[in-house]
Amino acid sequence: MAGQQRVFRERIRATESLKKIFRAMELIAASRIGKARDHVRASVPSAQALTRAVSAVATHADIDHPLTSERTDTNRVAVVVVTSDRGMAGAYSANAIREAEHLVANCMEAGKEVRLYAVGRRAISYYSFRDRILDGHWSGDSDRPSVELAHEIADTLLRAFLAKPEDGGVGELHIVFTQFETMVTQTPRVIRMLPLEVVEGVEEPRGDEAMPLYDFEPSPEAVLDALLPRYVRNRIFACLLQAAASELAARQSAMHTATKNAEDLVRSFTRRANAARQAEITQEISEIVSGSDALAAKT
Amino acid sequence: MAELVVDLVGADRTIWTGSAVSVSAPAADGGIGILPGHSPLMAILREGRVTIVPVGGRAVRFDVLGGFISVDSDRVTIVADESPIANARGAGSPRSGSQ
C-alpha cells in the first residue's frame, strides 16, 4: 500500500517538471511569434514593388520568357515541402507533409515524375526514414528564415527548372507551406511557383490609373530577365516567413495544451495519492483496533 | 516644387522611405539621376551607391549589390540587394553625410 503512494508522488514530480518545460516552450514561442509576424510585415513592401514591376513589364511587352512558359519536354515535377526543424508544434509538420503527400499522389496519378525537396529537419527525417530520395534539402533556422536561405533554395530550384530534360530539368515547381492566418488557424497550402503565372498580383495595382509607359533600361527583356528570378526568390522567402510564423503559432498552442494537460494529470494523481494515503490510514486503524480487540477478548 | 516619394526597400525590410529632392542610382549601363517630373522608368541596378537627397536634409547614401529601380509619376521605388556581410555587421543602415 505504501508503495502505491510513493508511485503517485513520483509521477506527480515528473509531471510537474514536464509542465515547467512545456510552459517555458510556450513562452519562448510566444515571444518569437511577434518578431516572426514583424518579419512577414517587413517583407511586404519589396513584394509589392516586385509584383507591381513584374505586372508592369508583363502589360508592356509580350512575355516570352523561359520562366513563364510551360515546358512540354519533361514530365518531372518538383515539390518543395516546408516544415519545422523541431517537433513540439502539434500537427504542424505532419499537416504540411500530408498535404505534400496528397500532391505527390495526384502528380503520380497524372503520370508525372516527382522530385522532392525538403526544408526543415522534420520533412528530411520523414522522407529519409521512408527511403525516399530527396533532390535537395535545407535545415536550420526554420523559425527564423534568412534571405540568404531563400536565395539558395530559389537558385537551386531555378537551376532545376531551367536545366535540360536530360540533366534532370523539371517542368513544374510546387511549394507546400503553411499559411499563417490567425494565431489559432494555420492552413497548409500548395502553390504552383513555376512556370510563373503573371497575374496582377495579390494586391491590385491602384486601379484608378493605367500602367504608365515605362522606359526600360537597358531593354524590356533584360529587365524581365533580372526581375523574374528576383520575384521567385521573393515569393519563396515570403513562403518561408509564413511558414515560420505558422510554426511558432502552432508550437505555442500545442505547448499551451500540453501545459493544461500536465496540470490535469497532476490534479488527478494528487487525488489518487490522497485516496491511497487515506486507504493506508484506514487499514492501519482497523489493524490496531482488531489487535486491541483480540487482546481485550483474551483477558 | 514637386517632390519625389521614395521607397528604398531590401528583401526583408524597408531601408528608407520619405520625400526627396533627387535620387541617383547606378543603373546597369551608367548612373542615372532622377528629379521630380522624370518620365516613367524601370531599370536594373548594378553594384554601386544609391544617393537620396531628402527634402531639407543631407544626402543619404546606401551601397547596393544590385536591384532595380522604378519611377512612375514622381514615385520612386528601389528594390535593393544588400550585402549580407554589411547586414551582419549592422552597417547596412544608410549613412548621412554632406553632399
List the beta bridge partners of residue A179.
A187
> Cβ contacts (< 8 Å) between A227 and chain B: which residues?
68
pLDDT of residue B87: 44
> Cβ contacts (< 8 Å) between A213 and chain B: which residues?
40
CB distance B11–A39 less than 8 Å? no
> Cβ contacts (< 8 Å) between B79 and chain A: which residues?
46, 49-50, 53, 230
Contact status of A285 with chain B (Cβ, < 8 Å): no
Q: Which residue in B11, B14, B79 is closest to A147 by CB distance?
A: B11
Q: How far is A238 from chain B (nearest CA, A)?
A: 9
Q: Which residue in A45, A212, A217 is closest to B44 by CB distance?
A: A217
pLDDT of residue B96: 46
- In CATH, the architecture of A63-198+213-248 is 3-Layer(aba) Sandwich (3.40)
The count of C-alpha atoms lying within 13 angstroms of the C-alpha of A261, restricted to the half-sphere facing its C-beta, is 9
**Any idea where the domains of chain B sit in the sequence?**
4-91
Residue B1 scores a pLDDT above 70: no
Query: Is CATH 3.40.109.10 what the domain over B4-91 is classified as, yes or no?
Result: no
* DSSP code per residue over A208-226: TSPPP--EEES-HHHHHHH
Residue A2 and residue A278 in contact, taking contact as beta carbons nearer than 8 Å: no
ipTM value for the complex: 0.78
pLDDT digits (tens, 9 = 90+) for A90-112: 899 999 999 999 999 999 999 88
> Cβ contacts (< 8 Å) between B6 and chain A: which residues?
none
pLDDT of residue A28: 93
Q: How many angstroms from the chain centroid is the CA of residue B87?
A: 17
